[in-house]
Structure 1
């Protein structure tokens, strides 16, 4: 799954797109290996009464630690052993005078 982060995603909870069926079902814990490999995060995939899903529990701590910004892209990949996920973070960037620059 990949998701371009919105302002709400970076300040509250990560909204899970409807098409992301490979993520855990509602109210299940999702174990995610940090891109640097130094931490395993636990996010809870909560389902609201409206049916929309979002990641909670530790998400805001993760967003603050990683200094996530709107426009950053977050990708999740299931680990080959099926016991969790790996994530990849792509920072929002712009192209200026032929040079790609990350905005941090």
Structure 2
């Protein structure tokens, strides 16, 4: 899928893969095996990197002070950390149970 998308829209793909979670790791490999020229890749990737840096620097500049104040106000203590860890474990157990039920359902529907 990624290769077809990249071959059809090379400039858009090169520009966007930096912003899309999961594509940032596999895209350079796919681009290396494609027919996209090095010159095109370097130019579009540089423009994408500049945009990405400007966006995230701007977000940090706009919200950095508010985040700093929020972090200072809600400094985590051991009970908070333990409660967060417990919530993560409960969420993981629920997710595991839902996945197990879904796999069992899918397996039984395939046999029918």
- TM-score using structure 1 length: 0.20
Work out which structure has the larger RCO, using CA pairs closer than 8 Å and 6 or more positions apart in sequence. 1
Structure with greater helix percent: 2
Q: Which has the larger radius of gyration?
A: 2
- TM-score using structure 2 length: 0.19
Structure with greater strand percent: 1
